[in-house]
Amino acid sequence: MKDYNKLSKRQKHILVFMEQYLEERGYPPTIREIGVATGINSTSVVNYNLNKLVQAGYLERTDNVSRGMRLVAPNGKKDKVVQLASASINIPLRGEIVAGEPVPAYGESEDVIEVTPAMLGKTDSKEVFALRVNGDSMIDAMIADGDIVLLRRQETANNGDMVAVWLTSRGETTLKYFYNEGARIRLQPANPYMDPIYEDPANCQVQGKVVSVIRQVR
């Protein structure tokens, strides 16, 4: 059994920061980010404490790999939320999607963004595309104007799924929660000041389901 009480205050601080960082982003922080967050000015001191966490059984590291760290759960198994950082993946950025009143915005683009495998979970990267969010109708879902959403291509959705929907009658696309109410589709914003959009099911074409969000630091 690992004894958490034997860790130094600094090492405990590093573990807490790493757990929070991983939960929010799905991939490990860099040594420099750990140093800034924990008030350690020297990367060699950060390295020393990380190695102590490895020796104590709380962490695994891969040499010569940026962010090459993995937390180890108390039972000795890898924490399923934490995945070892590896080579980045290029995902096509297909333009903008409106999280607000829908406007013609969805289109093809040659741009790509780099993401880590952890951000895709078990989703095949070939089935993923990215859109930049325009608007604040999904603000209560922690998606703000300027953020990037990663979506898995699919043409169906379950109630409560956050999806990109093409509204054929309007020639417009939007990002909303999807609800099939039988005679109509309700596209629900996550903003108490905005009304839902109601459409005939024949006019709604699901383009993809959100699998991850990249928050833009402001």
What are the DSSP E strand ranges found in the chain?
Answer: 59-61, 69-71, 89-98, 112-115, 128-134, 148-153, 162-167, 172-180, 185-188, 197-199, 204-214
- For the segment 103-144, what is each residue's pLDDT rounded down to a tens digit? 455 555 558 888 877 788 788 888 999 998 988 999 999 998
Please state the pTM of the whole predicted model: 0.58
| Average pLDDT taken over every residue of the chain | 81
Rounded CA separation 153/201 (Å): 19
Catalytic residues: 137, 176
Does the pLDDT of residue 71 top 60, yes or no?
A: yes
Is 66 in contact with 30 (CB distance < 8 Å)?
Answer: yes
What is the SS3 assignment for 194?
A: coil
DSSP H helices in 101-173: none
Is 2 in contact with 57 (CB distance < 8 Å)?
Answer: yes
pLDDT of residue 30: 82
- Ordered structural domains, the chain, with CATH: 4-71 (1.10.10.10), 89-214 (2.10.109.10)
